[in-house]
C-alpha cells in the first residue's frame, strides 16, 4: 500500500507516530473530508486505504449518532472526547471512543481524530452492570437482613430488611460501628466474633442461632450468618452479616415441643400399647406400655421393626397388616391377635391400625393402638 507509506502532510518522524498509534487515526477537513488515515483505520473499518481517502468521516457514523451536530460542538469547543457508534464497511455497528482536536495545517483548520474500538470494554461494563443489578436485587429484596461491614466493623451498607429488624434508618446506621450500637447481646457478640475469626483463619462461612436486641430493646431470635465479599484474585473486600428472624420458627418449635410433650404424657399414661411406624415399618415412636411389652425402653425400639421383638410368624402377620393399611389407606378396627413376647409370654390384643399422612395427603407410615384383652379371652375360654 504505497500511498500509506507516503503521507504527504507529515514529515518522516510524524508519519511513524501516525502509523504506530494503537487507534484508528484520521486527518479530516472541517467539512469532514478524510485527508489521511493510518493502517489501523483500514483494519478497523474493513476498508482499503483508497476507499477511505477522500471519503467523508460522516459515512462511518450512523444517522442516529448525529455527526453533524457533534461537529458543530467540536468546532465551538476546539476539540472533544466522546463515545459514539461507528459503522464498518459491511454495515456492522460497534461502539467507539473518540478524541478529536482542532489545529491548523498549512493555514487551514483541520481535525485530528483518534478512534478506539471499545466493544470489549462495553461487554465488560454490561456484564458488570448485570452483576451489580443482580447483587442489588438480592441485597434489597431478600427476606434476610444484610449488613456490609469493613474490617473495623463500620457499616458500609445495609438493606431494608435489616433496617426493619433493627428499627433504625439508613442514616442512623451507615458509618457507625456495628459492634458499638448495642444490637449484640453477650451471647450473640461471642458468636459474631467467632464467626469473624473463622472467616479470617479458615475462610469458612458459618450460621448460628442466637439473639439480638433492636432499637426498642426487644430481644429477637435470629440466625446469624457471615461471609466475605471477595474481589478478583481472591482479595477480601468487606464482611457481610446476614440476620434471619427466626422468632416464628422458634415459637413453632416451642409449640411443637409442648404438644409433643402432651402427646407423650398421654401415651405413657394409658395401659394401651401405642406406636407409630414409618414407611418401612420401623418404629418412630412408642409409649412405655408398648416398650414394656417387649421388656425394653421406648428409645430401644426406635428404628427397629416387629421382627426384632416378635417371633417371625407373628411379626410377618403384623407386617402384612401394616403394609395393607399403607397400600389401601383403609383402617383395621379391633382386630384380635395373639402375640408372644421374646420371653415366651403369650398375650391376646385387640388391634386398631390406620395410616399416617404428611401435609400433602401422602401416606408415610402407620400407627396403631393395641389393647390387652388376655383376661377377657381367658374368661371366654372358661365359659365355653
Domains and CATH numbers, the chain: 2-117 (3.30.450.20), 123-245 (3.30.450.20), 267-383 (3.30.450.20)
The predicted model scores a pTM of 0.46
| pLDDT, mean of residues 280-293 | 92
Q: What are the Cα distances from residue 86, in Å, to 44, 53, 142?
A: 10, 17, 42
Q: Does the pLDDT value for residue 214 go beyond 80?
A: yes
SS3 assignment, position 372: strand
**pLDDT confidence bin for 127, thresholds 50/70/90:** confident
- Give the pLDDT of residue 235: 53
- Identify the band that residue 366 occupies on the pLDDT scale cut at 50, 70 and 90: very high
Burial 273-284 (b: 16+ CB within 10 A, else e): bbbbbeeebbbe
67 conformational bin, left if phi > 0, alpha if psi -120 to 50, beta if neither: alpha
**pLDDT of 384:** 66
| Confidence bin at 236 (pLDDT 50/70/90) | low
Q: If you compute the radius of gyration of the chain from its CA atoms, what whole number of angstroms results?
A: 41
Sheet architecture: strand order including 273-278:
283-286, 273-278, 363-372, 346-357, 332-340
Name which of 128, 129, 113, 140 is nearest 45 in CA terms.
113
pLDDT band at 5 (very low <50, low <70, confident <90, very high): very low
Mean pLDDT over 368-382 rounds to 83
**Helices and strands (H and E) in the chain: how many:** 13, 15
Question: By C-alpha distance, which of 173, 215, 223, 217 is closest to 195?
Answer: 223
Which stretch of 208-222, 260-274, 320-334 has the lowest confidence by average pLDDT?
260-274
User: Residues of 31-49 as b/e, b for ≥16 C-beta within 10 angstroms?
Assistant: ebebbbbbbbbbebbebeb
Where residue 34 falls among pLDDT bands split at 50, 70, 90? very high
379 confidence band (pLDDT: 50, 70, 90): confident
User: Which has the minimum average pLDDT: 73-87, 233-247, 341-355?
Assistant: 233-247
Q: What is the mean pLDDT of residues 258-281?
A: 85
Confidence band of 233 (pLDDT split at 50, 70, 90): low
Is 50 exceeded by the pLDDT of residue 4? Answer: no
Is the pLDDT assigned to residue 117 strictly greater than 90? yes
CA angle 222-223-224, nearest 5°?
A: 110
C-alpha distances in angstroms, 7 versus 2, 36, 104, 113, 160? 9, 7, 17, 16, 63
Residue-level pLDDT at 84 = 93
Mean per-residue pLDDT of the chain: 85
Beta strands in 11-121 (DSSP E): 24-29, 34-37, 79-87, 93-105, 108-117
Higher pLDDT, 339 or 292: 292
Is the pLDDT at 229 greater than 70? The verdict is no
Rounded Cα–Cα distance for residues 361 and 377 (Å): 38
Amino acid at each position: 500500500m504505497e500511498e500509506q507509506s507516503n503521507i504527504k502532510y507529515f514529515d518522516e518522524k510524524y508519519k511513524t507516530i501516525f502509523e504506530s498509534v494503537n487507534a484508528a487515526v484520521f486527518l479530516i477537513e472541517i467539512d469532514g473530508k478524510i485527508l489521511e488515515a493510518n493502517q489501523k483505520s483500514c483494519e478497523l473499518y474493513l476498508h482499503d486505504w483508497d476507499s477511505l481517502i477522500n471519503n467523508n468521516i460522516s459515512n462511518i457514523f450512523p444517522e442516529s449518532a448525529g455527526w453533524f451536530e457533534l461537529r458543530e460542538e467540536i468546532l465551538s469547543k476546539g476539540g472533544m472526547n466522546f463515545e459514539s457508534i461507528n459503522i464498518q464497511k459491511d454495515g456492522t455497528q460497534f461502539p467507539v471512543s473518540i478524541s478529536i482536536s482542532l489545529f491548523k495545517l498549512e493555514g487551514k483548520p483541520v481535525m485530528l481524530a483518534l478512534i478506539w474500538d471499545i466493544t470489549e470494554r462495553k461487554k465488560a461494563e454490561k456484564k458488570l452492570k448485570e452483576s451489580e443489578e443482580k447483587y442489588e436485587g438480592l441485597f434489597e429484596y431478600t427476606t434476610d437482613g444484610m449488613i456490609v461491614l469493613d474490617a473495623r466493623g463500620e457499616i458500609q451498607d445495609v438493606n431494608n430488611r435489616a433496617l426493619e429488624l433493627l428499627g433504625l434508618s439508613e442514616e442512623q446506621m451507615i458509618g457507625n460501628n456495628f459492634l458499638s450500637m448495642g444490637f449484640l447481646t453477650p451471647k450473640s457478640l461471642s458468636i459474631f466474633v467467632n464467626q469473624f475469626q473463622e472467616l479470617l483463619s479458615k475462610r469458612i462461612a458459618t450460621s448460628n442461632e442466637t439473639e439480638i436486641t433492636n432499637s426498642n430493646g426487644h430481644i429477637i431470635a435470629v440466625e446469624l450468618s457471615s461471609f466475605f465479599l471477595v474481589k478478583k484474585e481472591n482479595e477480601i473486600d468487606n464482611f457481610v452479616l446476614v440476620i434471619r428472624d427466626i422468632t416464628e420458627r422458634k415459637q413453632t418449635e416451642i409449640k411443637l415441643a409442648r404438644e409433643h410433650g402432651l402427646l407423650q404424657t398421654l401415651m405413657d399414661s394409658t395401659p394401651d400399647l401405642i406406636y407409630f411406624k414409618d414407611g418401612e415399618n420401623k418404629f418412630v415412636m412408642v409409649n412405655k406400655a408398648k416398650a414394656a411389652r417387649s421388656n425394653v425402653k421406648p428409645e430401644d425400639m426406635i428404628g427397629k421393626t416387629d421382627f426384632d421383638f416378635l417371633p417371625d410368624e407373628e411379626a410377618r402377620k403384623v407386617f402384612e397388616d401394616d403394609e395393607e393399611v399403607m397400600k389401601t389407606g383403609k383402617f383395621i378396627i379391633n382386630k384380635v391377635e395373639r402375640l408372644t413376647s421374646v420371653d415366651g409370654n403369650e398375650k391376646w390384643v385387640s388391634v386398631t391400625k390406620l395410616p399416617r399422612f404428611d401435609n400433602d395427603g401422602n401416606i408415610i407410615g402407620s400407627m396403631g393402638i393395641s389393647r390387652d384383652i388376655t383376661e377377657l379371652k381367658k374368661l371366654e375360654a372358661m365359659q365355653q
